[in-house]
Each structure stands twice: as structure tokens, then as C-alpha cells.
Amino acid sequence: MIGPAVGPRRVLVTGGAGLIGSHLIDALLDRGETVFCLDTYETGDPGNLSHHADNPRLTLLERDVTDPPHLDVDQIYNLACPASPPQYQRDPIRTLRTSVLGAMAMLDLAHRTHARILQASTSEVYGDPFVHPQPESYNGNVNPIGPRACYDEGKRCAETLFFDYRRVHGVSIKVARIFNTYGPRMQSNDGRVVTNFIIQALRGTPLTIYGDGLQTRSLCYVEDTVDGLIRLMESPDDVTGPVNIGNPTELTMLELAEQIIGLTGSSSPVLHMPLPADDPRQRRPDISLARDLMGWCPNVALQDGLRATILYLRQTPVLKLAGCSPVLA
């Protein structure tokens, strides 16, 4: 992690009760910042921040990102948006509204308060890529009318807004394209591949793999992702991004399933299901820019991160009631 902040600042984190947001708030409070967490708790969990209940430097604000409070802040991390396909497809219009109108509301706040603002964009802006690994210069291959478009195009539009606010209003912006992130505080029912596989393995039910399982992902542990976001926020003003934040180690879904089965000591079989529409075949970041501009690269090995995530998910009520007992290799 980079060093402590230079003097305490007032920092707003939207979506702060989610996986990345809550770990980011941990890091910001450790750096001595005063933090405001804005979240509707529709996909975030206030319990993720319960260990800060007595910290006077943290204020929880239960409200929508499109209707922000009147705050005087120095920095804004805009993380508000459902991030897993089942979550963002549940109400696609609301997802698009959160991505676009939420970004605009936060940019207006940044403009009004002269705050620096960071947008949590996504690797999904690359769609199902024809270029591999994906550099920031690649414009992507996104279906604008498919079932994933509410998220993919919402994030792409948010990026457009960020750069237009910089060009028109001089707002100090940062754009991070976050690749698959995992770790403790993931929701057991979020529908992401890591949680699906771990929960299924702990229950002893088949691990569901979509398609042939040869599609790839690159998984970044949440603490590494947070380190990248803070480094980007603290970088010089002319470093705007977009900057990829992700782990360049690529693995197939079959390989991930095998690792999780081994780490949990499970005897679960693998069950192949039809591939969802517009599911990317390959996902791997080119992180040359993050290395060159910020000195950042991920440090947590996949097996170490998976062990920590398995231990966390083992404590979820549904698994505790089921009496699941993983054996960690």
C-alpha cells in the first residue's frame, strides 16, 4: 500500500458498503481521512462497515447516488452501481440510470466543490474483445442492445461524461477500468463465478460452468484493487486514465473450478450449462500503464486470495446452517 495521506481530507465513497467500497473505506480510514459512505444498501451491506461503528471519521449516508447530499469534499470515489450480471440485469433501467445520472450527479458535486473524482469503470467496456490482452487504447466490442448493455454501455457513457467534464469544466478526473475482483465480503448470492463455485463446492453440489469452460477471466484480490484505486487517485493531475486495474494472470473457468474444489476438499462434480448471451470469451488486462504511471501491480496470489474468500463465505448463515466444513489445502 502507498504511504499515508498528506493531512486529513474529506472523502466521499459512493457504493461504499459493497465489496470494493468497504475495503476502500478501511484503507482510507487507516490513512487518517474523514470518510462519507453513500449507499442505498440494495447490493451493499452496512454490516461490511460495522467494525467502524465507533469511528467518528466515518459517516454513513443511506441515499441514492443520483440524489447526492450537499457535502464539501476533497475527493470522490464513484463506485455506485450493481456489478454482477444477475444484480444489474434485475432492473436494467435503474442500472443505466445509476451509471449515467449517478456519474453526472457526482461530477456536478466535484465541479461545485473543486474535488478530484475517480470513476470505477469496468473491463466490461471492452465487451467480448478481439484484442488480447486488453490495453486501454482498445475501444472494445460491445453489443449496445444486448442483456448486458445496461451495465456495459452505462459505464462507457460514464467515461464519456468524465472526460467531457474535464474538457468543459476542468474537473480533476481519474478513470479506473476494474477487472474481476474477489475477496472477503462478497455476497454469497451475487451470481459471480468465484462465489458460485465456492458456495457450490462447500455444499457439495455441482459447480455450474457455462459453455465449455475454456473462457478465461483474470481475478484480482480486493486489497490489490483498492491499492490500485488509491494510487490512481493520488497520481498527478495529468494522469487521468483510463487505467486498467486487474490481475494479468489468466485462467479458464475449468481451471478455477479445479482450484476451488481442491482448496475446499470438495467432491463436487462439474455441470456444463448453456453460455449466456454476450458472455466474454477472454478477459485479461494489459497493466503496463498502471505499472509505468503508478508503480502498481497485484501482489496477492490466487490461492491465498481464494483461501481467504472461502473462509469468509464459510461463515455465511446459509452455510453455517448447512454445517459445511471446508478443508483448506
Tell me: the pLDDT tens digits for 185-234? 999 888 889 999 999 999 999 999 988 999 999 999 999 999 999 999 99
The answer to whether position 274 is within a domain reads: no
Q: What is the spatial distance between Cα 297 and Cα 189, in angstroms, rounded to a whole number?
A: 29
Q: Which of 209, 212, 83, 211 shows the shortest CA–CA distance to 148?
A: 83
Strand partners, 119: 78, 175
Catalytic residue among 77, 88, 151, 182: 151
Q: What is the chain's length?
A: 329
Instruction: Give the per-residue pLDDT at 326.
Output: 39
Instruction: Give the per-residue pLDDT at 195.
Output: 95
Instruction: Give the per-residue pLDDT at 310.
Output: 97
The answer to whether position 20 is within a domain reads: yes
Q: What is the spatial distance between Cα 5 and Cα 192, in angstroms, rounded to a whole number?
A: 33
Q: What is the spatial distance between Cα 192 and Cα 87, in angstroms, rounded to a whole number?
A: 10
The answer to whether position 298 is within a domain reads: no
Instruction: Give the per-residue pLDDT at 327.
Output: 39
Instruction: Report the percentage of the chain scoring pLDDT > 70.
Output: 94
The answer to whether position 297 is within a domain reads: no
Burial 294-309 (b: 16+ CB within 10 A, else e): bebebebebeebbbbb
Q: Residue 208: exposed, middle, or buried by beta-carbon count in 10 A (0-12, 13-18, 19+)?
A: middle
When the pLDDT of each residue in the chain is averaged and rounded to a whole number, the result is: 92
Q: What is the spatial distance between Cα 87 and Cα 158, in angstroms, rounded to a whole number?
A: 19
- CATH (domain of 125): 3.40.50.720
pTM of the model: 0.92
Instruction: Give the per-residue pLDDT at 226.
Output: 98
Q: What is the spatial distance between Cα 147 and Cα 153, in angstroms, rounded to a whole number?
A: 11
Tell me the backbone φ, ψ of residue 11, rounded to 5 degrees.
-125, 130
Number of domains in the chain: 1
Number of Cβ within 10 Å of residue 169's Cβ equals 13
The answer to whether position 295 is within a domain reads: no
Tell me: the pLDDT tens digits for 15-71? 999 999 999 999 999 999 999 999 999 999 999 999 999 999 999 999 999 998 899
Q: Which of 238, 242, 98, 114 shows the shortest CA–CA distance to 178?
A: 242
**Enclosing domain of residue 66:** 10-181+222-245
Tell me: the pLDDT tens digits for 246-286? 999 999 999 999 999 999 999 999 999 887 776 778 889 99
Q: What is the spatial distance between Cα 266 and Cα 269, in angstroms, rounded to a whole number?
A: 9
The answer to whether position 279 is within a domain reads: no
The answer to whether position 213 is within a domain reads: no
How far is CA 313 from each of CA 73, 155, 197, 282, rounded to the nearest angstrom?
Answer: 35, 29, 11, 27
151 in catalytic set: yes
The answer to whether position 125 is within a domain reads: yes
Please give the average per-residue pLDDT across 308-327, as a whole number: 69
